[in-house]
Amino acid sequence: MDELISIIVPVYNAEKTLRRCVRSLMGQTYRNLEIILVNDGSKDGSLDICREFAGEDARIRVIDQPNGGVSSARNAGLDAATGKFVMFCDSDDWTEPDWCAAMRENYEENDLTICEIDRDDIPLEKAENSRMWETAQRKDFLHRPLLMCALYNKFFARNVIEDNHLRFPEQLSLGEDFAFVLSYVCAIGGNLRYLHRALYHYDTTGENTLSRKAPSLEQCDCFYQMVTASMEKLGAMDAESVATRDWFVLSHFDRLMTAVSARKNYSLSEKMDIAGTIGTLESFKQCRTKVVVWSNPVYCKLFHRKHTKLAMLFLIVRNKVKNRGDIR
């Protein structure tokens, strides 16, 4: 008989997309599944939908807990999982019918199996043979960050997770999936196995029901320390890997800067103090990579040159002008 696969789905205010997600899991060609729906204190009808599906399919289990965030929900799912393998799916996404079967078919012990992701904001890299596999060494994990650092396109062995006491860091509000996957890669003894098929569909069209709060100063610094420690353990301190780390870390700091600049309960002095503190952190100063996703070139130049107070002042002025309706 096929080994049991546990699929963990954190659910928060997902009533608009949850049915599509769960039905795609119920329709998997690989039948020996346990689908663990973790309702994380939803305020809409998500819990009722979860229970409705559990009544339809005995493979579905429902965990209902107070809101603790996506890491808490995923950890609750891991604590309850009994499968030999573990996969993760977000409640606003959906999967191909052979998502589980294809990943299990191509799994090799001590390796990490990875598939493509279908998302409309990032074009797929085309392969001549859709079934062609590539293998890569663990230290090259960060060379394809948008695929490698995602959670939901990977096939995890539960014994690796449990033997190494791996859980999602609940002290992070952003980047916890990256940190978990990187810790898993450190724990395996084999290689990365990459399948050129988009088996997972990531929804970028609507509101993400798992959207997070902006990280704090402490969380940004913690993320940098955790990722750097894992990279050093992997021997993945080459220029390309470091650039990937820097991109993620600076994205965290940018999100914090943007959130602080818009907070009405913070005085100008408090906002400038936070910006100044960011500029003094080694985790910020050590990042050299330029993040090019931001739209305003003035802010980008100030931010990348570590002029955090000037960058904050620019954001504050821009917010005021924007609120008056003078710019979009």
**In the chain, ranges of CATH 3.90.550.10 domains:** 5-201
pTM listed for this prediction: 0.88
**Mean pLDDT value of segment 154-165:** 97
Q: Taking residues 134-138, what's their average pLDDT?
A: 78
Summarised one tens digit per residue, pLDDT across range 304-326 is: 888 999 999 999 998 888 877 65
Q: What angle do CA 133, 233, 243 make, to 5 degrees?
A: 70
In words, the CATH class of domain 5-201 is: alpha beta
Q: Tell me: the pLDDT tens digits for 291-303?
A: 655 568 888 888 8
Share of the chain above pLDDT 90, in %: 65
* 187 pLDDT higher than 50: yes
161 pLDDT tier (thresholds 50, 70, 90): very high
Q: What is the pLDDT of residues 20-68, one digit of tens each?
A: 999 999 999 999 999 999 999 999 999 999 999 999 999 999 999 999 9
222, 172 in Cβ contact below 8 A? yes
Confidence (pLDDT) at 89: 98
- Cβ partners under 8 Å of residue 262, min gap 6: 315, 319
- Rounded Cα distance between 220 and 214, Å, is 10
**Summary mean pLDDT of the chain:** 89
